[in-house]
Amino acid sequence: MTAQISGTEAEAFTGTKEVEERARFDVAAFDAWAAKAVEGFAGPLEVRQFKGGQSNPTYELVTPGRSYVLRRKPPGKLLPSAHAVDREFRVISALYPTGFPVAKPYALCLDEAVIGTTFYIMEKVEGRILWDGRLPDSVPAERTAIYTAKITTLARLHTLDHHAIGLGDYGKPGNYFARQIDRWVKQYRASETQPIPAMDKLIAYLPTTIPDDEQTSIVHGDFRLDNMILAPNEPKVLAVLDWELSTLGNPLADFTYFLMNWVMPGEQRGGLAGLDLKGAGIPDIDQAVEIYCRHTGRSSVPALDWYFAYNIFRLAAICQGIAGRVRDGTAASSHAVAMAERVAPLAEAGWGFAQRAGA
């Protein structure tokens, strides 16, 4: 999960660039490993770094026969349990045979001696990554289809039998929100750089007011528009990306995080607040809930204000983690500093939703 960015900034996150000095690795050592670990891999190899992916550095690997994607842990001091690329590899390896849209996984390397950190290799899926939730380049009918495809893709994830595909131990069942709040409080405190009263209020409020809902499913953890690759010429999701925060948990955490788009201002990435949704062809929040419920068998999604407070708190805690990495010199994006500056405004927004929920 990352802080929202404006549509005008999206260009800076699209495509590849020369590999940054701090993100470079021994290409010869990698090439020797890949030749043995990845069937059909053969150089010569060109390595480029994707502009996005500030949490886990991500690279395009171009060979004469095929292009691949490499995801790695960033080098340097890291927070406990963060940057779990091994978990990413495990979940996409379990999902790929089901036909759920993920990139084909090729190989995982736990030997840090190869490039300095754990990493994995997957296919490069060709398609569109859309950054602006308003979909300015689409006509209303396509916007309707794209949003419907996104919601039904998430519903499909939440209705998969995680036991049947080997993910029964991918997370702990039950008490998901309590455990998540505890986790993000600890990570926030570990990265704290200044007192933020609104965060302290949320930390006190959220654990004592968790809605009663104990469903368990695979949750993505950062399900949003720009973590999906769409087909070049149709509103079809080809691959869901960035599974770093995935686990077993309450599916409403995933879905209500996605619903944040409807309450975020339009100048924010994905933000739809204030937009003429009907005219744009985008489902309103009630219609989005209805689509999700229809595909998951739920009757409703109550307590949205509490879930919004929780999701904004979690986002603020993640941004604070980025602030901590800026402090420690391990942030992998020049945009990290600006994201870190959004912790306090996010906390205030989260507390506003908590007050609407009854705080």
DSSP 103-132: PPEEEEE--TTTTSS-EEEEE---SB----
- Read off the pLDDT of each residue in 134-160 and give the average, rounded to a whole number: 97
Burial class of residue 142 in the structure, from the number of CB atoms within 10 Å of its CB (0-12 exposed, 13-18 middle, 19+ buried)? middle
pLDDT over 50 (residue 2): no
The pLDDT value recorded for residue 154 is 98
The pLDDT value recorded for residue 348 is 94
What distances in angstroms separate CA 217 from CA 155, 182, 288, one per listed residue?
10, 20, 20
- Read off the pLDDT of each residue in 124-144 and give the average, rounded to a whole number: 94
Question: Where residue 335 falls among pLDDT bands split at 50, 70, 90?
Answer: low
Higher pLDDT, 5 or 97: 97
The structural domains of the chain, ordered by start, are 7-123 (3.30.200.20), 180-213+303-359 (no CATH)
The pLDDT tens digits of the residues spanning 206-224 come to 999 999 878 999 999 999 9
Q: Average pLDDT over the chain, rounded to whole?
A: 89
The pLDDT tens digits of the residues spanning 6-56 come to 444 555 557 888 988 888 899 999 999 999 999 999 989 999 998 865 578
Q: In angstroms, rounded to a whole number, what is the distance separating the alpha carbons of residues 41 and 62? A: 10
Phi first, then psi, for residue 358 (nearest 5°) are 120, 5
Interhelix angle 197-205/176-191, rounded to 10 degrees, is: 160
The pLDDT value recorded for residue 79 is 52
The pLDDT tens digits of the residues spanning 227-272 come to 999 999 999 999 999 998 899 999 999 999 999 999 976 556 678 9
Tokens linked to 342? 């959004």
pLDDT over 60 (residue 78): no
Higher pLDDT, 331 or 147: 147
Higher pLDDT, 271 or 153: 153
The pLDDT value recorded for residue 331 is 59
pLDDT over 70 (residue 81): no
Question: Where residue 1 falls among pLDDT bands split at 50, 70, 90?
Answer: very low
The pLDDT value recorded for residue 8 is 47
Q: In angstroms, rounded to a whole number, what is the distance separating the alpha carbons of residues 224 and 257? A: 8
The pLDDT value recorded for residue 15 is 80
Higher pLDDT, 120 or 318: 120
Question: Where residue 145 falls among pLDDT bands split at 50, 70, 90?
Answer: very high
The pLDDT value recorded for residue 338 is 72
Residue closest to 87 by CA, chosen among 53, 54, 118, 58: 118
Question: Where residue 76 falls among pLDDT bands split at 50, 70, 90?
Answer: low
